[in-house]
């Protein structure tokens, strides 16, 4: 783990960047972005799933057809291990909150154009919430429906959806959220971002930012180091449909049970992004 520390750090918010040793160009790109914003970070060495042995794979992954519709790939297992490593670092540091970034993180074009001020403002606002901050907040990805939890300044909203966005590009964690997510030990049953969508299993308050300030970097011209999440064959497609149907029912029911009818109804409303 390597620390990178330019001036003007954001108070209270630790930033961790997950990066494979073979992805030096990605580290260079995210370093330029964060240093330009005056944000220090610590590199977390990612686990290369392609280097795991067959015995390690069998111990780390569970082919549970009810939990997910397909066996995990080596890349997905490596990704899950990498994010656990980052969350363990959050717990080790004892920091109240942390932003965990993957090395293909980038700012949305409009956010980059304003010098990243909105990105910094979102981090500052989330950090200032203290114990009122949700356990995990996606700064990447959108959902069409959700309930506004609170407004963060003039240009961002914190929302809670029945099904939060997938993707690990940029997730803001509290210390409590990190400990909750680490509570379930391997074997892994799902990709780590899909596991976060099943928020009720860990009693995780999972929210997201609208409009999201972060996206995946496209300038590198590289495919994901995790690999595509595809399913082929009639049997696999059927399992996928069954999984999605079960998830839809479970997520709606658990949201209704946990937050009540009024918040459940608000979560069905279409999201209107701030101007």
pLDDT tens digits along 46-105: 999 999 999 999 899 987 767 898 889 999 999 999 999 999 999 999 999 999 999 999
Quote the pLDDT of residue 5. 45
What class does CATH assign to 2-267? alpha beta
Could you count the other beta carbons within 10 Å of the beta carbon of residue 240? 14
Share of the chain above pLDDT 90, in %: 79
Q: Residue ranges per domain, the chain?
A: 2-267
CB 102 within 8 A of CB 18: yes
pTM (two decimals): 0.91
Average model confidence (pLDDT) across the chain: 90
pLDDT bucket at 4, cuts 50 / 70 / 90 = low
Question: Is the pLDDT score of 7 beyond 60?
Answer: no
Report DSSP letters for the chain, one per residue.
-EEE--SSPPTTEEEEEEE-TT-HHHHHHHHHHHHHTT--EEEEEPP-GGG--HHHHHHHB---TTT-SSPPPHHHHHHHHHHHHHHHHHHHHT-SEEEEEETTEEE-HHHHHTTTHHHHHHHHHHHHTGGGS-SEEESB---SB-EEEEEETTTEEEEE-SSPPP--SEEEEEHHHHHHHHTSPSSB-S-HHHHHH-GGGTT--EEEEES-SEEE--TT----SS------SHHHHHHHHHHHHHHHHHHHHHHHHHHHHHHHHHHTSBP----
pLDDT tens digits along 169-196: 999 999 999 999 999 889 999 999 999 9
């Amino acid at each position: 783990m390597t620390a990178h520390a330019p001036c003007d750090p954001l108070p209270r918010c630790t930033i961790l960047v997950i990066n494979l040793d073979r992805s030096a160009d990605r580290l260079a790109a995210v370093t330029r972005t964060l240093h330009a914003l005056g944000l220090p970070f610590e590199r977390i060495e990612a686990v290369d799933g392609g280097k795991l042995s067959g015995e390690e794979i069998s111990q780390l992954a569970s082919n549970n057809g009810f939990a997910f519709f397909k066996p995990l790939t080596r890349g997905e297992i490596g990704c899950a291990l990498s994010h656990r490593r980052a969350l363990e670092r959050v717990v080790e540091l004892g920091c109240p909150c942390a932003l965990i970034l993957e090395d293909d993180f980038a700012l949305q074009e409009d956010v980059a154009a304003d010098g990243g001020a909105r990105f910094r403002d979102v981090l500052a606002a989330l950090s200032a919430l203290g114990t009122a901050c949700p356990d995990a907040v996606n700064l990447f990805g959108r959902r069409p429906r959700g309930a506004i939890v609170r407004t963060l300044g003039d240009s961002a909203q914190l929302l809670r959806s029945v099904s939060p966005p997938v993707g690990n590009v940029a997730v803001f964690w509290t210390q409590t959220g990190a400990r909750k997510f680490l509570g379930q030990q391997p074997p892994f049953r799902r990709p780590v971002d899909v596991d976060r969508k099943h928020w009720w299993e860990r009693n995780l308050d999972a929210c997201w930012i609208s409009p999201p300030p972060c996206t995946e970097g496209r300038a590198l011209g590289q495919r994901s180091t995790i690999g595509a999440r595809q399913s082929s064959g009639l049997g696999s497609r059927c399992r996928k449909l069954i999984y999605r149907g079960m998830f839809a029912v479970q997520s709606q029911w658990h949201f209704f049970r946990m937050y009540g009818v009024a918040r459940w109804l608000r979560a069905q409303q279409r999201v209107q992004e701030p101007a």
